[in-house]
């Protein structure tokens, strides 16, 4: 099993090109099941979750053609589409469940395994009840047998007005996709409005879907009979951008980050300015210099988009370990997303956890140690801490990292990190 061997501390300087967004690409790929005509999707990140989703689409009968070093794909419909999504493909990836709704919307039936991915909600996992309940309201019937969801509909799904009980990115994306070919008008209230959700709606609208945002969190979809052939480029990765912004701030670095619209991470950039980072913004670039001394942020609270993202919480925890005093982080999205704290303690961090709040003492001098990733974003946090640490660190279980970061060690090495992949 691969590991990262990292020698620190390092000061990161140079240019970083941001990859396409995994979290935007996955629902876009799932939605290709709705099309009769070919679809070309560009700027795909070369990460494990994307490869898994493409394998899943292939198993469902889609024809996949690769271009531009696998960053661009042409997906066309098979004459014999299938409707069985196996556990072997969905066990490692949360987004695999997003094929369920499009399969029912297009083929009126689906047999789909419960998904896997990072476990971030303790013993409850990451349930998809919200998805299933909403899909049921627009005409899908289902039963659960032996870990599989057997779903079907009598013809087209039917437009309806419904309100999500909880703001959910996945459920919002799932219902938007599933409503595109429905009969009538669907109105979804209390939607997630993350940029990745908007990228999905932009993609579908470009193909002829009738989707309109009405107010801040309400999405209206009027069903169409079919979708048009389309070429589309996926947005840049918001979380990768945030990770490299933290890396520059943490290491007193100087990075020019290219290929991402800075307006989409304004909350994160405002917080980094409070730590002392010097930031200049351009149309699709961020120039960021880290301070000599990192100032604390007294309290960070994760929140749905518009607020601070949970996917950047572990990286900011590392930053607060190096800051000049005590800080607190409250995790409001995923209650078990503090597993990285124990591993940071192995590097010398002083962190205490009580319920959904972490207290970080600050002024940590990280010392190299062997640590283990617990999930995708935790792996990024541990890599950052190891880069800032004195001595050698080994980060294991980096398959988590490979799910969401494209060639992270190559990008880090290019800007001065002493990192290599070992068995």
- The token pair that represents 43 in the structure block: 């700027």
Report yes or no: 379 and 395 within 8 Å, Cβ to Cβ. Answer: yes
Res 126 pLDDT > 60: no
- Gap between the Cα atoms of 365 and 388, Å rounded: 9
Structure tokens at 37: 């005509």
- Domains of the chain by start residue, with CATH: 3-19+236-422 (3.65.10.10), 22-120+127-233 (3.65.10.10)
pLDDT at 69: 86
What is the mean pLDDT of the segment spanning 116-130? 57
Helix (H, G, I), strand (E, B) or coil at 175: helix
Q: Could you report the per-residue pLDDT of 68-80, keeping only the tens digit for each?
A: 888 999 999 887 8
**Torsion of Cα atoms, 33 then 39 then 42 then 46, to 10°:** 40
* Sheet bearing 63-67, strands edge to edge: 63-67, 72-76, 39-42, 230-233
Least confident of 88-102, 294-308, 382-396: 88-102
Confidence of residue 206 (pLDDT cuts 50, 70, 90): very high
What number is the average pLDDT over the span 24-53? 96
Each residue of 174-204: pLDDT tens digit?
999 999 999 999 999 999 999 999 999 999 9
What end-to-end distance do the CA atoms of the chain give, in Å? Answer: 6
State the catalytic residue, choosing from 118, 245, 312, 321.
118
- Specify the pLDDT at position 226: 97
| Confidence at residue 143, expressed as pLDDT on a 0 to 100 scale | 94
The answer to whether 295 touches 276, Cβ cutoff 8 Å, is: yes
How buried is 349 (Cβ within 10 angstroms: 0-12 exposed, 13-18 middle, 19+ buried)?
A: buried
**Position with higher pLDDT, 78 vs 103:** 103
Helix pair angle (238-250, 376-388), 10° resolution: 20
Residue 118 annotated to the active site: yes
Long-range contacts of 209-217 (CB under 8 A, 24+ apart): 209/180, 211/176, 211/180, 214/187, 217/167, 217/189, 217/190, 217/191, 217/192, 217/193
CA distances from 168 to 140, 197, 329 (A): 19, 10, 21
Which bin fits 268, alpha (ψ -120 to 50), beta or left (φ > 0)?
alpha
Chain segment 257-300, per-residue pLDDT in tens: 999 999 999 999 999 999 999 999 999 999 999 999 999 999 99
Confidence of residue 116 (pLDDT cuts 50, 70, 90): low
pLDDT band at 127 (very low <50, low <70, confident <90, very high): low
- Could you give the C-alpha distances from 262 to 82, 234, 245, 280, 288, in angstroms and in order? 41, 16, 11, 10, 12
214-259 pLDDT, tens digit each: 989 999 999 999 999 999 999 999 999 999 999 999 999 999 999 9
63 backbone φψ class: left, alpha, beta (φ>0; ψ -120 to 50):
beta
Report the chain's mean pLDDT, rounded to a whole number.
93
Closest CA to 302 of 353, 275, 337, 277: 337
> Which pLDDT does position 115 carry in this prediction?
72
Say what the pLDDT of residue 113 is: 86
What's the pLDDT tens digit per position in 138-160?
999 999 998 899 999 999 999 99
Examine the pLDDT at 328 and tell me if it is beyond 80. yes
The residue ranking higher by pLDDT, 416 or 89, is 416
* DSSP structure string for 178-246: HHTTSBSEEEEES----HHHHHHHHHHHHTT-EEEE-SSS-EEEE--S----EEEEPPB-HHHHHHHHH
Ranking 36-40, 122-126, 165-169, 271-275 by mean pLDDT, the lowest is: 122-126
Backbone angles phi, psi at 163, to 5 degrees: -125, 125
Tell me, what's the pLDDT at 78? 80
Question: Could you report the per-residue pLDDT of 362-402, keeping only the tens digit for each?
Answer: 999 999 999 999 888 899 999 999 999 999 999 999 999 99
Strand-strand pairing, 185-189 and 219-222: antiparallel
**What is the model's pLDDT at position 87?**
85
pTM confidence score: 0.92
Nearest CA to 340 out of 363, 373, 309, 367 is that of 373
């Amino acid at each position: 099993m691969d590991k990262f061997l990292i020698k620190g501390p390092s000061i990161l300087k140079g240019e970083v090109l941001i990859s396409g967004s995994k979290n935007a690409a996955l629902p876009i790929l799932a939605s290709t099941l709705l099309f009769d005509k070919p679809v070309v999707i560009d700027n795909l990140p070369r990460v494990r979750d994307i490869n898994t989703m493409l394998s899943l689409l292939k198993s469902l009968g889609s024809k996949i053609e690769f271009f531009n070093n696998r960053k661009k794909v042409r997906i066309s419909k098979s004459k014999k589409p299938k409707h069985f999504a196996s556990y072997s493909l969905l066990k490692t990836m949360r987004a695999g469940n997003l094929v369920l709704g499009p399969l029912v919307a297009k083929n009126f039936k689906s047999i789909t395994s419960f998904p896997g991915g990072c476990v971030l909600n303790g013993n409850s996992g990451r349930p998809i009840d919200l998805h299933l309940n909403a899909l049921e309201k627009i005409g899908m019937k289902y039963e659960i047998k032996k870990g599989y969801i057997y779903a079907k509909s009598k013809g087209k799904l039917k437009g309806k007005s419904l309100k999500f009980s909880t703001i959910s990115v996945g459920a919002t994306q799932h219902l938007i996709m599933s409503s595109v070919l429905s009969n009538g008008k669907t109105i979804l209230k209390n939607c997630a409005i993350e940029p990745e959700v908007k990228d999905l709606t932009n993609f579908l609208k470009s193909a002829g879907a009738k989707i309109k945002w009405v107010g801040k969190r309400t999405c209206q979809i009027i069903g169409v009979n079919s979708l048009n052939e389309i070429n589309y480029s996926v947005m840049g990765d918001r979380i990768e951008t945030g990770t490299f912004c933290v890396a520059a701030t943490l290491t007193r670095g100087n990075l020019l980050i290219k290929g991402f619209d800075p307006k989409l991470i304004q909350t994160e950039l405002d917080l980094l300015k409070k730590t002392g980072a010097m930031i200049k913004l351009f149309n699709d670039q961020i120039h960021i210099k880290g301070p000599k001394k990192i100032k604390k942020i007294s309290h960070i609270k994760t929140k749905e988009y518009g607020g601070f993202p949970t996917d950047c919480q572990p990286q900011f925890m590392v930053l607060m370990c190096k800051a000049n005093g005590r800080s607190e982080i409250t995790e409001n999205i995923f209650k078990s997303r503090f597993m990285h704290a124990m591993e940071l303690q192995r590097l010398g961090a002083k962190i205490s956890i009580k319920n959904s709040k972490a207290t970080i003492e600050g002024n940590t001098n990280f010392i190299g140690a062997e640590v283990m990733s617990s999930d995708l974003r935790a792996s990024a946090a541990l890599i950052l801490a190891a880069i800032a640490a004195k001595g050698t660190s080994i980060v294991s279980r980096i398959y988590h990292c490979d799910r969401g970061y494209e060639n992270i060690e190559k990008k880090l090495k290019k800007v001065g990190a002493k990192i290599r992949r070992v068995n």
